[in-house]
Protein backbone atom coordinates (compact mmCIF):
# COMPACT_ATOMS: atom_id res chain seq x y z
CA UNK A 1 0.00 0.00 0.00
CA UNK A 2 1.68 3.18 -1.21
CA UNK A 3 0.59 5.82 1.31
CA UNK A 4 2.22 8.75 -0.49
CA UNK A 5 0.55 7.84 -3.77
CA UNK A 6 -2.86 7.51 -2.12
CA UNK A 7 -2.43 10.81 -0.27
CA UNK A 8 -1.46 12.46 -3.56
CA UNK A 9 -4.58 11.04 -5.21
CA UNK A 10 -6.69 12.40 -2.36
CA UNK A 11 -5.04 15.81 -2.68
CA UNK A 12 -5.59 15.87 -6.44
CA UNK A 13 -9.26 14.90 -6.23
CA UNK A 14 -11.26 17.60 -7.95
CA UNK A 15 -14.57 17.03 -6.20
CA UNK A 16 -16.30 15.09 -3.46
CA UNK A 17 -17.08 12.14 -5.75
CA UNK A 18 -13.40 11.69 -6.57
CA UNK A 19 -12.47 11.99 -2.88
CA UNK A 20 -15.02 9.29 -2.07
CA UNK A 21 -13.52 7.03 -4.76
CA UNK A 22 -10.07 7.43 -3.22
CA UNK A 23 -11.46 6.84 0.29
CA UNK A 24 -13.13 3.65 -0.92
CA UNK A 25 -9.88 2.49 -2.53
CA UNK A 26 -7.95 3.23 0.65
CA UNK A 27 -10.48 1.41 2.83
CA UNK A 28 -10.56 -1.59 0.52
CA UNK A 29 -6.79 -1.90 0.43
CA UNK A 30 -6.39 -1.26 4.15
CA UNK A 31 -9.05 -3.80 5.13
CA UNK A 32 -7.34 -6.51 3.07
CA UNK A 33 -4.14 -6.22 5.14
CA UNK A 34 -3.09 -8.28 8.13
CA UNK A 35 -2.89 -6.55 11.51
CA UNK A 36 0.90 -6.30 11.33
CA UNK A 37 0.67 -4.80 7.82
CA UNK A 38 -1.94 -2.33 9.06
CA UNK A 39 0.45 -1.19 11.78
CA UNK A 40 3.15 -0.56 9.18
CA UNK A 41 0.68 1.48 7.12
CA UNK A 42 -0.31 3.49 10.20
CA UNK A 43 3.33 4.33 10.89
CA UNK A 44 3.95 5.24 7.22
CA UNK A 45 0.86 7.45 7.24
CA UNK A 46 2.04 9.34 10.32
CA UNK A 47 5.54 9.72 8.86
CA UNK A 48 4.07 10.99 5.60
CA UNK A 49 1.99 13.61 7.41
CA UNK A 50 5.03 14.61 9.45
CA UNK A 51 6.95 15.15 6.20
CA UNK A 52 4.10 17.19 4.73
CA UNK A 53 3.88 19.35 7.85
CA UNK A 54 7.64 19.90 7.86
CA UNK A 55 7.57 20.83 4.16
CA UNK A 56 4.73 23.31 4.71
CA UNK A 57 6.49 24.79 7.74
CA UNK A 58 9.67 25.38 5.73
CA UNK A 59 7.69 27.00 2.91
CA UNK A 60 5.95 29.30 5.38
CA UNK A 61 9.26 30.31 6.95
CA UNK A 62 10.63 31.22 3.51
CA UNK A 63 7.44 33.11 2.71
CA UNK A 64 7.59 35.03 6.00
CA UNK A 65 11.24 35.87 5.37
CA UNK A 66 10.45 37.13 1.88
CA UNK A 67 7.59 39.31 3.17
CA UNK A 68 9.92 40.72 5.82
CA UNK A 69 12.52 41.50 3.14
CA UNK A 70 9.92 43.22 0.98
CA UNK A 71 8.64 45.26 3.89
CA UNK A 72 12.17 46.33 4.81
CA UNK A 73 13.03 47.28 1.24
CA UNK A 74 9.93 49.45 0.89
CA UNK A 75 10.87 51.59 3.89
Per-residue confidence band for 4, with pLDDT thresholds at 50, 70 and 90 = confident
The pLDDT score that the predictor gives to residue 19 is 92
The residue segments making up the domain with residue 9 are 3-73
CA 25/CA 30 separation, integer angstroms? 8
Query: How far is the C-alpha of 75 from the C-alpha of 68, rounded, in Å?
Result: 11
Structural domains counted in the chain? 1
What would the pLDDT profile of 29-51 be if each residue is shown by its tens digit? Answer: 999 999 999 999 999 889 888 98
pTM: 0.62
At residue 14 the predicted structure's pLDDT band, cuts being 50, 70 and 90, is very high
DSSP state of 33: S
- Helix orientation angle between 35-73 and 3-12, rounded to the nearest 10 degrees: 50
Q: Which of 36, 56, 52 is nearest to 3 (CA)?
A: 52
Amino acid sequence: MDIKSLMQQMHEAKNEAEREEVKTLISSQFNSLSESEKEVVRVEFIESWDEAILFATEKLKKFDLRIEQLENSSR
